[in-house]
Amino acid sequence: MEYRIEHDSMGEVKVPADKYWAAQTERSHENFPIGVGIETMPAEIIRAFGILKKAAARANHALKPEKMTDEKLAAISQAADEVIEGKLMDHFPLVVWQTGSGTQSNMNANEVIANRANEIAAAAAGAADGQAGNTGAGQKSSAAAGQAARLCHPNDDINMSQSSNDTFPTAMHISAVTALEDRLIPAVDKLIAAFRVLEEKHEGIVKSGRTHLQDAVPIAFSQEISGWRSSLERDVELVRLAMKPLSELALGGTAVGTGLNAPEGFSEKVAEEISALTGKRFVTAPNKFHALTSKDEIVFAHGAVKAMAADMMKIANDVRWLASGPRCGLGEIRIPENEPGSSIMPGKVNPTQCEQVTMVAVQVMGNDAAIGFAASQGNFELNVFMPVIAYNFLQSVRLLSESIGAFTDNCVVGIEADRDKMHHNLYNSLMLVTALNPYIGYENAAKTAKLAYKENISLKEACVRLGFLTADRFDEVFHPEEMV
C-alpha cells in the first residue's frame, strides 16, 4: 500500500495515499481497533455530517464572506454533496467505540471534505489553465492551481464556527429525524394500510375472544385486527410527537455552549440552511448548554420507538398464536408458507416472520436500556456517550423499519381466516355463558359453565339440566354473534 505524510498538531502521520482522510482520522483508526469493519459510525451520521458541513459553509459565507469565499464555498459544497450522496463512504473508516464526543468522526468529516474540496478546486484551476494555453494568463492560472491545492483547511474552513461538541449532537438529531420520518413512519403506515384491508376483508366473522390465554367472550375478527391497527396508529402519533424536540439543533454552541468563535446569527442561519437542504424543519436550540449536555430528546424519541417495538412484539405473538397448529394449535388463521421449517420434520412450516419481528423487538428494547444509561452519563458541559447513543438509536429505527416491511409483505398481506375453525371454537367456548347473566344471574351462569366443563356437554344441556332455562328459552336468548 502506498502512503502519504499528513500532519496535525501532534506531528506527522502516514495515511493511505488513496484515502481523503488525514492525520486525526488515521490516529483514531489506529488507536481504536474495536469492531473495525463491523461497528463503524452509521452511514446516517456520515450523511448528516455532509449536510451540516455544507450548511455551515453557506452560513459562514453569508456571515463571514472574507473567510468563507465564493471559491471555498463552491468546492466545499461539491465535496459535501458527495458525502451526502454516499459516494465517499470508503473514506469514513472510524468505529463507534471512539471518543465519547465523536470528535474523531467530526474531524474525519472535516479532513475528507477538505481534501476532496482541494482536489475539486485544483481540478477547476487546472481546467482554467488548459483553456488559457501558454500565455501569461496560463502561467498565472498554474499558480492558482497550486494555491487551490491548499485552499481549504480541515479546522479553519470545514470546521469554521463549529466544534465537535456541537456538530455531533446536531448530526444525531438530523439523522434521527430523517430516519424516523423517511424510514420508520412509511413502513408502519404501509402495515396500517394492510391491516385496514384485512379488517374489511374479514368483516362479519365472529370468533372467540381470549384473555389470560383463556377463553373469553366473543369478538369480531375485524375488531381484533382493528386493535392491532389502532396500536400502530397511536405509535406513529407518539413518534411524531417525539420528533418535535429533535428538530432543535446544538450547532452554534461550539465547545461548551457559549458560542465561542461563532459569528452572531450563525446558529439561526445554519439551522435555516439545514432545513433548506433536508426539506425538514430544524431550529436552533434555545439553550445550547442543555443541547450539549443532555440527550433527553433522543431518550424520549427512542421511547416512542420502543413503544412501537412493544406493540409489534404483541401483534406478532398474536398472529403466531392464532396460526398455531396446523392441527394441534388454535389454527384460526392461516399465514403464508414462506420456507420449510425443519431439517428433520418434513412438511413443517414455522411462523418465521413473526419470529424475526419478536427478535427485533427484543433488540430495540435492549438498545433503549443502553441509550438511557448513556444519556445519564457525561460530566459538566458535555455528554461523552454520544456515538453509542447514535449507533443504538439508528440501529433500532433501521431494524424496526425493515422488520415491519418484511412482516407486512411476507406475512400480513397473506393472512386468511379459517372460518370453520373460528366457528367451532366460538360455539365450544364456555364463556358464552356470560350472555345468560341477565337471565339466570352470575352464580347460576357459573354453575352452568362448570357443569358443562365437568360433564363435557354443551352450555344448553347444562342450563336445561340445572333447570335454569327451558330449551326454547335458551335458544331465544343465546346468540353468540350478537355479543360483539
Show which residues are catalytic: 212, 342
Strand partners, 333: 417
Q: How far is CA 8 from CA 11, 107, 170, 247, in A?
A: 5, 11, 25, 34
Q: What is the dihedral of CA 267, 269, 271, 277, to 10 degrees?
A: -150
Which backbone phi and psi does 255 adopt, to 5 degrees? -70, -45
Which residue has 416472520 as its cell numbers?
353
CA distance 47 to 32: 22
Burial label, 228 (beta-carbon count in 10 A; 0-12, 13-18, 19+) = buried
Q: Are 295 and 388 in contact (CB under 8 A)?
A: no
In sequence order, what DSSP letters do the residues of 128-196 get, joined into one string? HHHHHTTSHHHHHHHHHHHHHTTS--IIIIITTT--HHHHHHHHHHHHHHHHIIIIIHHHHHHHHHHHH
d(CA 303, CA 206): 35
Which residue from 59, 32, 53, 42 is spatially nearest to 107, judged by alpha carbons?
A: 53
* Pair 205, 417: CB distance under 8 Å: yes
Nearest to 382 by CA among 113, 186, 103, 150: 103
H helix or E strand, kind and range, residue 49: helix 43-63
Q: Decide: 305 and 356 in contact? Cβ < 8 Å.
A: no
Rounded CA-CA distance 237/247 in Å is 16
